[in-house]
Amino acid sequence: MKAVTSLFILYLLSALTAFSQSTSYVFATPVKAQLLDQSGLYISATPGYSFSTGYLIPKGTTVLLVGKRNAFYRVIYKNLLGYVSYSVIDKTYEAFKATEYEHEPLIGIAKFPFELQSQPITNSQTKMLVTVPKDSLLPIKEHNEVYYKTTYKSIEGYAAKSYLNLTGDESDETYLRKYPKIKVAQTAPEEVEAYPTRNRTHSRQYYRGPRGGCYYITASGRKQYVDRSLCK
């Protein structure tokens, strides 16, 4: 019985820790920053899945920081919305996590009535705290991939993400409303200058696109555009 209880406590602590590590939010105002090193402009903030858009941002370039997500900054570069790693803005991950910016309030709107629960997991020890009516506005304090931590009538608890619609969340739509002149960066458009390749990989097969762009196929099946000279 003690072993089971210990495992449950560890599981609960793990869930709570996931909330404390959340770093995704939209900045209230953009922040200018210079890149410490050159970087691609990426379309994803998921490590190992951050495909280049085809743009290389040179070292020392000033970009607008407009949000945080995981270990990435959301940035605007040449009116394109994309991501750069924290490492080209902050010297260390600790500095990245410690730097807090004023951010847009994250508000959840209840899609339907639901029960606010006592912890970010559902099991026999989870308590239902209060019924939240449909269309109630709930301030979001923290979140992970599954739950929001929020407050209703001074009662703090957790709500499944599927229960709420959000305003001010770190999504493309939020940024496009806030900055109407920008566009969301896409993967390697042929109209832009391709990401320069420092070291040629002679075993890699390159293809010429219909508009003259040069690309190769990544392990995930995506087109990665490179300098056109590699297709000569």
Query: Domains in the chain, start-ordered, CATH in brackets?
Result: 2-98 (2.30.30.40), 107-167 (2.30.30.40), 191-232 (no CATH)
Q: Are strands 183-184 and 80-85 parallel, antiparallel or unpaired?
A: parallel
Helix (H, G, I), strand (E, B) or coil at 52: strand
- Give CA angle at 165 (163, 170), nearest 5°: 120
Tell me the β-bridge partners of 155.
152
Asked if 148 contacts 161 with a C-beta cutoff of 8 angstroms, the reply is: yes
CA distance 30 to 63: 9
CA distance 64 to 175: 12
Residues in the chain predicted with pLDDT less than 70, given as ranges, are: 1-23, 45-54, 187-206, 216-222, 229, 232
pLDDT for residue 221: 58
Q: CA dist 51 to 47, 168, 175, Å?
A: 10, 25, 20
Nearest to 167 by CA among 137, 192, 193: 137
Q: What is the largest distance, in Å, between two alpha-carbon atoms of the chain? A: 69
pLDDT for residue 133: 96
pLDDT for residue 15: 42
44 phi/psi in degrees, rounded to 5: -140, 150
Asked if 67 contacts 106 with a C-beta cutoff of 8 angstroms, the reply is: no
Give tens-digit pLDDT for 144-182: 778 999 999 999 999 999 999 887 777 888 888 889 999
pLDDT for residue 116: 96
